Amino acid sequence: MKIEIRDLTARIEDTPILNGINLELESGKIHALMGPNGSGKSTLSNIIFGNPSYEVTGGEVLVDGQNILDMEPHERARLGLFLAFQYPVEIPGVTVGRFLKRAVEIRREAIGQEITAKEYIKELRAAMEFLDIDQQFINRYLNQGFSGGEKKRMEIMQMMLMQPDFAVLDETDSGLDIDALQIVSKGVNKLRDGNFGALIITHYQRILNYIRPDYVHIMYQGRIVTSGGEDLVTTLEEKGYDWVKQQYGIKE
């Protein structure tokens, strides 16, 4: 899968947030998107997954040449995109197990693979074991009273079962605790054995010690100001975002 983001601009209410994003992403590679708080990282991820609160004012997001901006979130998922926080809501009466089964069925149908109930259970058990999730977890109601760590487990378990071509993972700026961090990296690194790609969005370099990116992009004021390899993370860690500001003549 190839994702091309071209001249993407967006606003929230009357404030421009994205000011012309250009970015190319592909399966088989891990991209990191870094940037200071408020630079527009979460706005970009919300737009990729189709959150209707964000108004796109220009540009396009192409998935294998097809503009996805008019598609519903579930259609985007069917293409093989996995967007964390796509289902942040509590769904009364729907258990984790039932929710996951439906999500997996829809995805497998889209890629022309049937999955029997028996196979599903087998895969579910394997994923839970791998991520060290208690079997009782599948009987819980989706997101009801979930802790941050449980939400993370749910998200990564879903990602592993759905086998997406490309995932966008937006980590919260406050950072994950070490357990959650390990679950995310375990899941991503496992999928990485196949032709899987991801955009790991983060303010801090910490998660990138566990998931080593092939490419690093830095965002500032709604633009990608520079891209590079893993060494960019080290530079950023040493010199801070002020260095980026000076280097690229960013005024505030």
Which positions touch ligand ADP (CB under 6 A)? Answer: 12, 17, 35, 37-43, 173
Residue number with CB closer to ligand ADP (27 or 39): 39
CB of 38 to ligand ADP, least distance (A): 4
From the list Mg ion, ligand ADP, none, partner contacted by residue 17 (C-beta under 5 to 8 A by kind): ligand ADP
Shortest spacing between CB 196 and ligand ADP, in angstroms: 23
Q: Determine contact, residues 142/150, Cβ cutoff 8 Å.
A: no
Of the pair 13, 238, the CB lying nearest ligand ADP is at 13
Question: Nearer to ligand ADP by C-beta: 42 or 158?
Answer: 42
Using alpha carbons only, give the angle 236, 242, 248 rounded to the nearest 5 degrees: 90
Measuring CA to CA, which residue among 32, 26, 29, 7 is closest to residue 218?
A: 32
Q: How far is the CB of 124 from ligand ADP (least distance, A)?
A: 32
CB closer to ligand ADP out of 12 and 94 = 12
What tokens does 103 get?
């999500």
Closer to ligand ADP by CB, 35 or 213: give it: 35
- CA 229 vs. chain centroid, Å, equals 19
Those residues with Cβ within 8 angstroms of residue 187's Cβ, 6 or more apart along the chain or in another chain: 131, 156, 157, 159, 160
Beta-carbon contacts of residue 85 (< 8 Å; ≥ 6 apart): 45, 49, 155, 170
Partner that binds at residue 213, options ligand ADP, Mg ion, none, CB closer than 5 to 8 Å by kind: none
- If one asks whether residue 42 binds Mg ion (CB under 5 A), the answer comes out as yes
Q: Do 220 and 39 contact (CB within 8 A), yes or no? A: yes
Choosing among Mg ion, ligand ADP, none, which partner's interface includes residue 35 (Cβ < 5 to 8 Å by kind)?
ligand ADP
